[in-house]
Amino acid sequence: MKNVKAIIFDAYGTLFDVNSAAEKCKDKIGDKWEGFANFWRTTQLEYTWLRSLMKRHKDFWQVTEDSLDKSMNAFNIDKSMRSELLDLYKILNTFPEVKDVLNKLKEKNYKLAILSNGTPALLNELVKSNNLENIFDDIFSIEEVGIYKPDSRVYDIPVKKYQIQKNEVTFLSANTWDVSGSGNYGYNAIWVNRNNNIFDKLDYEPKKQVKHLDELLDLIQ
């Protein structure tokens, strides 16, 4: 990919493993932990889209709490675990290759940033808990515009900040709707397909598809 000036990452599901909170409690939750984690994530995303459509914004932490409450009811999870799960969500693990890849990209002098639905406080805590404070030039939150991805106003944020063209941004996300949203906006969007999923039909084909972020290092040389 040529003329790339900024490499921007989605956070949840791309850099940080959204299932890691429930996985750390799998001894208490039992075999249903993974189904519960996936349901929580799906509900969380549905709430962001519905709130955007209804123009009834709540920040991502409030949405995360609301979606957890529904998920715990659906899977009959003991209510005493609510605080523990929420605390663990604030310090989700990165995927194994993330730190090494980010450090190598940092050496290449690209602008590196996160662009996420998360609140600034949540994102800063995630970055700090994973010792990534010195990696990113910026951590962009949708709270700057008060609407969730894939609204185009979200993808505007880094372009305006860096005063660059849309096609000078490489954007990576594990979420197909985010790849489509950013790609239709004008980014060079790469799909991080960790689980061999099928891409959605949303009028965009990703520029590239990778299974792990370390494959990015070969694409941007």
Catalytic annotation present for 156: no
The set of residues, in sequence order, having a beta carbon less than 8 Å from that of 134 and lying 6+ positions away, is none
Closest by alpha carbon to 17, among 92, 105, 125? 92
Q: Please give the helix or strand (H or E) that residue 57 lies within, else none.
A: none
7 within 8 A of 98, measured Cβ to Cβ: no
Q: Assign 209 to helix, strand or coil.
A: strand
CA distance 8 to 138: 9
**Do the beta carbons of residue 208 and residue 21 sit within 8 Å?**
no
Task: Tell me the C-alpha distance between 1 and 3, whole Å.
Answer: 7
Per annotation, catalytic residue among 10, 17, 59, 178? 10
149 backbone φψ class: left, alpha, beta (φ>0; ψ -120 to 50): beta
Catalytic sites, residue numbers: 10
